[in-house]
């Protein structure tokens, strides 16, 4: 009988050319698909909840696959963790309805961006090392405007712009925790590079390189000028994905 399995994954994006399988380069989806295919002894089509770019990490990526083999969720988790490299971890695995699709079924996604306000030799691949204390009140003023915004045409790669670049922001805000300044944002969808462009632009405003009025014009779509400020990939994490009726 055909089964559908949903996995929750964590991975270190530094070591990969992103999530999605490519013609060249090491990808998370590629490694997982190959290991699953060897384990199940059939070609596995692994569907991810979302794509992450090269260098972007995941604390809560989700992916599902179907198989005709009589596998158990606990066996999938145990066997796969023994096969994959240590920069990827299967955190959980469960059986879900056959109609479930981890990409199409997602109702919201959450990302976190980490900034290190202290110089660090250890966190260089896991945060944006700025090395000075930022004004969090200014950053949160901008985050409040992001929560009210819908049009994000100016905060995505030009080649990835679609007919509609509208996103429903569910939450967005800055906080300090564990020695990091972090930006958390949740939405029904995200555009390519959207979070990194938002963070890069807010950091540019805080530093005085971009006027806050200009940032608000970009948010309100009052200009066709796309922002040029982008935060590095190393500080970005796919935090979580939510589904209707599925306790992932």
Q: Which residues are catalytic?
A: 53
Query: At which residue do the structure tokens 């089964």 appear?
Result: 3
Residue 108, SS3 per DSSP: strand
Spatial distance between the Cα atoms of 99 and 77, rounded to a whole number of angstroms? 21
- Any idea what DSSP says for residue 225? P
Q: To 10 degrees, the CA torsion angle through 188, 191, 197, 198?
A: -20
Spatial distance between the Cα atoms of 160 and 197, rounded to a whole number of angstroms? 14
Contact yes or no for 215/201 (Cβ under 8 A) = yes
Residue 171, SS3 per DSSP: strand
Residue 143, SS3 per DSSP: helix
Q: Which of 41, 63, 12 is nearest to 234 (CA)?
A: 12
Residue 110 CA neighbour count, 13 Å, CB half: 15
Contact yes or no for 166/154 (Cβ under 8 A) = no
C-alpha Rg value of the chain to the nearest Å: 19
């Amino acid at each position: 009988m055909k089964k559908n399995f949903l996995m929750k994954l964590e991975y270190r994006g530094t070591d990969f050319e992103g999530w999605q399988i490519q013609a060249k380069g090491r990808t998370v989806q590629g490694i997982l698909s190959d290991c699953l295919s060897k384990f199940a002894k059939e070609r596995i089509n692994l569907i991810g909840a979302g794509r992450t770019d090269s260098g972007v990490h995941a604390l809560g990526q989700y992916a599902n696959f179907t198989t005709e083999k009589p596998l158990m969720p606990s066996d999938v988790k145990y066997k796969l963790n023994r096969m994959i490299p240590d920069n990827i971890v299967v955190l959980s695995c469960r059986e879900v309805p056959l109609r479930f699709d981890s990409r199409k079924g997602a109702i919201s996604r959450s990302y976190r961006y980490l900034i290190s306000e202290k110089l660090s030799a250890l966190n260089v691949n896991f945060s944006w090392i700025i090395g000075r204390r930022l004004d969090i009140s200014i950053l949160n003023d901008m985050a409040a405007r992001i929560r009210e915004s819908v049009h994000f045409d100016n905060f995505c790669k030009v080649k990835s712009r679609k007919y509609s670049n509208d996103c429903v922001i569910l939450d967005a805000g800055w906080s300090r925790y564990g020695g990091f300044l972090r930006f958390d944002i949740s939405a029904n969808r995200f555009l390519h590079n959207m979070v990194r462009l938002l963070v890069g632009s807010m950091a540019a405003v805080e530093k005085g390189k971009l006027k806050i009025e200009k940032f608000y014009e970009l948010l309100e779509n009052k200009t066709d000028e796309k922002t040029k400020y982008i935060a590095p990939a190393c500080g970005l994490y796919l935090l979580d994905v939510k589904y209707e009726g599925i306790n992932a």
